[in-house]
Amino acid sequence: MQYIQRQFPEITDSFFLFGPRGTGKSTLIRNRYQDAIWVDLLKPETLRRFLARPERLEHLIAGEPEKKTIVIDEIQKAPELLSVVHSLIEEKKNLQFILTGSSARKLKRASINLLGGRALKRTLHPFIAAELGNQFSLSRALHEGTLPLIYTAANPADSLRAYIDLYLHEEIYTEGLVRNIENFSRFLEVISFSHGGLLNTTNISRECEVKRKTVENYIDILDDLLLAYRIPVFTRRAQRELSSHPKFYLFDSGVYTALRPQGPLDQVEEMNGAGLEGLVAQHLLAWIDYSNQNDSLSFWRTRSGVEVDFVIYGSKHFYAIEVKNSSYVDSQDLKSLEAFLVDYPMAKAFLLYRGNEKLKIKNVHCIPCEEFLKKLISGKEISE
């Protein structure tokens, strides 16, 4: 499969590039910085050499003075190298460091401050629809996700299962992040039911039969590995009593589908609804990150249960977005957006659904979800 151009912006400063395994960090950097000095810490021999002598990085750079870009792949494997990088940046040798990683957890544990703000921090997300273009299929994205490692595989279903087994289970255990792999595996299944819903650690703890503190630690691990995220309640100038719990999402709709247990008591519509909402969430997060603006992603939920799935708020943008896994628009579907517009009439409201027609009903733009996602391009406005 040919290289797929990413919406990730061009960056000339030094930067950290974080993202879960399989999002294509190395592929992106190798494509854009073909003449860079490359340090691959996934190679055991390379890792051993740099762990033993971090100053070897200075010698490597001095040996090729014409090269001004240095890539260190999976920097969390050897956080000691950051001291050397920091020193070289301070010497102002016009070097650009690109430090990729699938986890900030080890860097945090080592009390590393990510170079004291001397390097930008960026995230690479799974493919978004605008990157895939005509290759994008909403149905396929819901079931297999858009993780590049999976999307470009010959057998995506098998690759997704291997990803779950080898990365989400074995590697997390091997890295010493969890002590009991059985408890963690059960936790992953249980928390999949929270995808797109309010996060209640007490309920998850009860279902997992582990302590609440353990559940909170497991959730922190998913956060640090960028395998999940939480979005807060939008509270700016609130005129009503609002919920206090954040909403939880796994980072990829395919990973959610693979983790979510399925049986006779599970409703397909409910699963697909959560999957669709999560797919929209991962697109909106990518759009915000790649556009490099000060927008934030949140949701709105009153104490009485009136909810708008997503609110994007920033100096230039104010959007309210509701997602419905249905092929038509019902008047009841608009109620939450209408309530939000009463409190925030300056917002622009969108209803995304599985139909084919573009509609405008009571100041709400109703747009086919697939069309909306394909037009979501970094640096450009969200339009109807």
C-alpha angle 43/169/101, rounded to 5°?
Answer: 40
Please name the amino acid found at residue 170: E
Q: Are 326 and 338 in contact (CB under 8 A)?
A: no
Q: Residue 374 has what DSSP assignment?
A: H
Q: Which residues pair with 307 in a beta bridge?
A: 301
- At 57-104, the pLDDT tens digits run 999 999 999 999 999 999 988 988 998 998 898 887 789 999 998 877
pLDDT band at 1 (very low <50, low <70, confident <90, very high): low
Which letter, b or e, does each residue of 158-187 get, where b requires 16 or more Cβ atoms within 10 Å of its Cβ? ebbeebbeebbbeebbeeebbeeeebbbeb
Q: What phi and psi, each to the nearest 5 degrees, are found at residue 229? A: -150, 160
Q: Residue 327 above 90 pLDDT? A: yes
Report pLDDT for 264: 64
Report pLDDT for 244: 84
Q: Return the H-helix or E-strand segment holding 343.
A: helix 335-343
Looking at per-residue confidence, does 307 or 164 come out higher? 307
The Cα 282–Cα 277 span in angstroms is 9
Strands lying side by side in the sheet with 15-18: 37-40, 69-73, 96-101, 15-18, 120-123
Closest CA to 281 of 197, 365, 191: 197
Q: Residue 178 above 90 pLDDT? A: no
- How much is the average pLDDT of 273-285? 96
pLDDT band at 268 (very low <50, low <70, confident <90, very high): low
| Domains defined along the chain, listed by start | 15-123 (3.40.50.300), 129-374 (no CATH)
- At 115-170, the pLDDT tens digits run 666 788 999 999 999 999 999 999 999 999 999 999 988 899 899 988 988 777 76
Q: Residue 253 above 90 pLDDT? A: yes
- 3-class DSSP assignment, residue 248: strand
- At 372-381, the pLDDT tens digits run 999 999 988 8
Report pLDDT for 180: 84
The Cα 264–Cα 341 span in angstroms is 39
CB atoms within 10 A of CB 89: 18
Q: What phi and psi, each to the nearest 5 degrees, are found at residue 337? A: -65, -40
Closest CA to 378 of 309, 276, 251, 285: 285
State the SS3 of 256-273. Answer: HHHHCCCCCCCCHHHHHH
CB contact set of 237 (below 8 Å; sequence gap of 6+) = none
Report pLDDT for 111: 46
- At 43-61, the pLDDT tens digits run 999 999 999 999 999 999 9
The Cα 65–Cα 215 span in angstroms is 49
Q: Are 181 and 169 in contact (CB under 8 A)?
A: yes
| DSSP line for 27-58 | HHHHHH-TTSEEEETTSHHHHHHHHH-TTHHH
Report pLDDT for 9: 94
The Cα 328–Cα 35 span in angstroms is 52
Q: Residue 201 above 80 pLDDT? A: yes
Q: Are 114 and 121 in contact (CB under 8 A)?
A: yes
Rg (CA), the chain: 22
- At 15-41, the pLDDT tens digits run 999 999 899 999 999 999 999 999 999
The Cα 356–Cα 326 span in angstroms is 11
Closest CA to 185 of 172, 197, 194, 175: 172
